[in-house]
Chain A
Amino acid sequence: MSTDASNEVRLAAESAASRAAHSAADASSQEPSGPSSPRRKGLSERNRPLWMLIPGGVLMIIIIVVPLLLGIFMSTLNLDQYTLRKWVSAPFIGVENFVEAMTSSPLLHSVWLSVSYSLLAMVVTLPLGIAAAVATQNAFKGRAVIRSIFLIPYVLPSFVVATVWRTMLQPDGIVDKALGTVGIDVGLWLNGPQTFWTLVLVQIWASWPFIYLLALSGLQAVDHEVHEASALDGALWWNKLRYVVFPYLKGPLSLAFLIGMLHHINNFTLPFVLFGVPAPADVEVLPILTYVTSFQSFRFGLSAAMAFISLVLIAIPLFVYLRAVKLDDAESPGAKK
C-alpha cells in the first residue's frame, strides 16, 4: 500500500523535476532560436504515435478500470462471508449498502478524521519542506550529506516508521521518559483522544521530505539569469524569495500538496501499525474503517460502498483543484508567466 504510493509519488516527483527542468530549458532556448520551435511543435502534434500507449492503456484498464467497476458492482451486493463463495450471485440489494454506510456507520466521521488529519499534516510539512529546500539550495561544505539525511524519513518504509514510533511512544517509553525529565507528562500517545495528534505528528515526520524533494526540484528550475537580474535590481533575500523564487515553486508544490493529501488520506500502514485494530475511535480513519469492515466483519459489499463513497468525496475537490491549477495541462507546468 504505502510502497505503491511512495513509488507513485517518487515517479511524480521525478517527472515534475524533469518537467520543470525541461520548461526551463525550453524557455531559455526559445528566445534565441525562435523559428525552430513551431516546426518541432507541429511534428509532435501531427504524428504522435498514439498506438504506443496501448500496452500501458491495457495495463491501466486491467489494474484500475476493471477493479473499479468490480468494486462498484460489489457495492450493490449483499456480499459477506456467507455469500462470498458464489459472489457473482450474491443477493443484489441496490443502494442499501450506501444507505447503511451513510446513515448507520462511522463513515462520515472517518472522512472528517482523514481529511482533517491530512490537511493538518500538509499545512505543517509545506513550510518545513520549503525551508529545508531553501536551506540546502546554495552549495556549502557537507551539503550532500545533509541532503541525504533529510531523505531518511522518506526512504524508510511506512511499516518501519510506524513500528519505531510505536515503540518510542509506549507508556513509559523513551518519549515519555525524555519528556518526564523536563517535567512534562503528556499522557497516552497510542490510546484515547491524543491519538489523533500522534498520527499527525508521525505523518509529519514521515512525509515532510517529500515536500522538500519537490521544492528542491522547483528551486533547480530557477534560471541563473533570474537570480542575476534580481540582484541587479537590488532585491534583498526576502523580496527575492517572495517575488522571484516562490512563483517557480508554485507548480511543484501544488503537485506535492495534491499527491501528499491523497497519500495521507490513503495511508493505511501508518495508523494500522501505530494503533492496531480495532483502532481508538479518534483515529478510525477511512482506510482503517474500510479494512475493518472488509476483513474483520467480512462485509465486503458494505466496505466497497464505503470505498466508493470516499472515492467520490475525494474526487470532487480533487477535480476542482486540478482544473484550478491546470495541473492536467501538460503544456503549462505551473510556472507563472
Chain B
Amino acid sequence: MRFRSSSGLAAIVTAAALALTGCGGGSGSTDSSTSADGKVDGTGKTLNVLVNVLSQYPEQQKQWQADIAAKFKAETGADVKFETFASANDELTRIQTSVVSGQGPDVYSLGTTFTPTAYATKAFVTLSDDDWKKVGGKDRFNPATLGISGPDADHQAGIPFVSRPFVMAYNKDLLAAAGIDKPATSWDELAEQAKKMTKDGTFGIATGYKDNFDPWKFIWAMSVQAGNPLVDGNKFKLDDPTVKKAYQTYFGWLTEDKVVDPASVGWSNSNAVAAFASGKAGYLMMTTSSSIPTLDKSEIAGKYEYALMPTIAPGETKSKSDGDAASILSGDNIVVADYSKQKDLAFAYIKLITSKDEQLNYQKIFGDLPANAEALASLTDPKLKPLADAAAKSKATPFTGAWGDMQLGLLNVTVQSVPDLAAGKVDEAALESRIKDSQSKGQASLDRASKG
C-alpha cells in the first residue's frame, strides 16, 4: 500500500493508539447512596453481573436470573443485567479486557482455583470488615469455603457462592457382591476393594486419565494427605517423595493393580461417568453433585451412593494433613471489580444471593451446595450428606498467582506419561524426569509470584 502522506498515517496511528489506551483509566469511587438503615438505593442504576453458563440447565438458569433480578429490583430499585461466559477461556478473556480497560462487569463469578490468579491482578475489591458486613457478615458462610478467598484472613476478595466438592460414587450392588460392607477410607483400601470387584469386563474404578483436570486433583489430594501441601513458603515441592508416590499410586491402578479399564488412558471425566452409569465400575472417582442428573437417568439409578474420597495417603495409616483434605475446595466465588462505581449495589446483590433462602433455592434447582453455613446445615437429603461433609472437609489449593503454572505442571506429568501408561508400565526414571521438569517450571513461576 502506498500512502500519499506519511504524516497522515502517523496521525491515524497516534489517534488509534490514544483511543486504545484512553480507556485504560477508570477510577474506583464508591457511590454513597446507602441510607441510614443499610438499604442501598439503586433506583435507575444497572448492575452488570458476569456468570458462567450452566449448560445443563439453560432454561432454569434464565428463570433463576429473571427471579433474582425481580427481587433485586424490589429491594434496591436497580436492575441486574446478566452476562454469561461459556468456558474458562471466555471468562479469562473478559477479565483481561476488563482489567486492562478498567471497565466491564461489576460482579464476576469465578471458579475457586482461578481466584488466586484473579486476586494477583489486584483488579478486584479486597473486602474490608465494613464490606463484609454489607454482604451479610463473614460468619454467614461455611468457614471452609473461605479458604481460597484470599492469601490470609485479612485479605479476602472472593465471596463464596456455592460449593461443588469432589466425592466418589459407588455402585452398591457391586460392592455388596464383592463382600464389601463400606466404601474405602484410605487409598490402599480403595485399591484392595477395587481388585475384588474387577472381573468379567467390570472394573473396580472408573476414572479418566486424559481429563484436563482430574489427574492433578488426585496428585494434590494424595500429597496433601501425606503432609505435603505442595507449596511451602517460597518453595514448590513437587520433587517431594510424596508426589512421586501419588503418581505411582494413581498410575498403578492401571499398570499394577489393573483395576481400571485400559481404555481410560483416553477418557475424560465424562467417559468415566458413562462407564460407571452403565454399571461397569464399582467406584466413580472425582465426581460432583453435577453427576446426579446423569446417574439418575441411567440403569444404576437408585443403586449408587456418594461417599467421601479416601483421606489417608497411600502407604499411610492416618491422614497427615490438618483437616482431612477430602476434596479440593471447589465451587464458585464472587468478586467485585475494583473499578466498579456501584460497589454498594454489588454488595447488596451478593447479600441477596448468598442469603439462606436463595442458597437453598439455588441448590434445589442446580444441585450446587450452599456456601451459606445455615443453608448447608439445613440440608436433610441423605444423598447430599457425604457431599456436605466433603464441603466442610475441603481444603484450598495453594493461594498463589503461580498456581496456574503449577496445575499445568502437575497435569503435564500425566499427559506425557499416557503413552507409557497405555504400554502398561510407567518407567520410574522417566516419571522422575517429568516431575523434575514440572518442578523447575513451577518454582520459576513461584519465584516470579513472590517478586510480583
Which residues of chain A have a CB within 8 Å of any CB of chain B? 50, 53, 57-58, 60-62, 65-66, 69-70, 80-85, 87-88, 170-173, 187-188, 190-193, 276-281, 292, 295-298
Contact = CB atoms under 8 A, between A and B. Distances in A.
Given A81-B121, A296-B405, A50 B92 contact: no
Interface stretch (B41-49, B340-348, B415-423): B415-423
Contacts of A187: 419, 422
B16 A66 contact: yes
Contacts of B121: 81-82, 84-85
Nearest to B271: A170
A61 B13 contact: yes
Given A61-B13, A85-B100, A277 B1 contact: no
A188 B9 contact: no
Contact of A83 (B117, B418, B452): B452
B13 to A, nearest CB: 6
Contacts of A279: 415
A191 B2 contact: no
A204 B401 CA distance: 40
Contacts of B291: none
A271 to B, nearest CB: 13
B422 A278 contact: no
B127 to A, nearest CB: 18
Contacts of A190: 210, 266
Interface string B1-42: 111100001001100110011001000000000000000000
Given A50-B2, A172-B263, A298-B404, A191 B210 contact: yes
A82 B120 CA distance: 5
Given A84-B96, A191-B418, A298 B265 contact: no
Nearest to A170: B266
Contacts of A83: 452
Contacts of A62: 16
B210 A276 contact: yes
B81 interface: no
Contact of B401 (A69, A70, A81, A191): A81
Contacts of A58: 12
Nearest to B411: A278
Given A85-B100, A191-B265, A297-B408, 6 more contacts: A84-B100, A87-B100, A171-B422, A173-B266, A188-B266, A297-B404
Q: Which of A61, A276, A298 is the most central at the interface, judged by chain B CB atoms within 10 Å of its CB?
A: A298
Nearest to A83: B452
Interface string B388-427: 0000000000000100110010011001101100100000
Contact of A50 (B4, B16, B20, B418): B4
B448 interface: yes
The 7 closest A-B pairs by CB, nearest first: A192-B419, A82-B452, A171-B266, A191-B418, A172-B263, A278-B412, A81-B120
A81 B13 CA distance: 27
B408 A278 contact: yes
A278 B100 contact: no
Contacts of A280: 415-416, 418-419
A171 B13 contact: no
B303 interface: no
Nearest to A296: B408
A16 B20 CA distance: 36
Contact of B17 (A60, A66, A172): A66
Contacts of A80: 448, 452
Contacts of B262: 171
A287 B122 CA distance: 28
A79 to B, nearest CB: 10
Contacts of B120: 81-82
A298 B117 contact: yes
Contact of A191 (B411, B419, B452): B419
Nearest to B89: A295
Contacts of B422: 171, 187-188, 191-192
B65 interface: no
Interface in B77-119: 89, 92, 96, 99-100, 117
A80 B4 CA distance: 40
Nearest to A291: B89
5 contacts: A57-B3, A69-B17, A188-B266, A191-B210, A278-B415
A66 B17 CA distance: 7
A279 to B, nearest CB: 8
B180 interface: no
Given A53-B1, A62-B16, A82-B452, A88 B21 contact: yes
Contact of A85 (B99, B265, B405): B99
A88 B101 CA distance: 11
A49 B20 CA distance: 30
B445 interface: yes
B419 A193 contact: yes
Contacts of A81: 117, 120-121, 401, 452
A220 to B, nearest CB: 30
B408 A188 contact: no
- Between A62, A171, A188, the greatest number of chain B beta carbons within 10 A of the residue's beta carbon is seen for A171
A46 to B, nearest CB: 15
A66 B408 contact: no
A66 B20 contact: yes
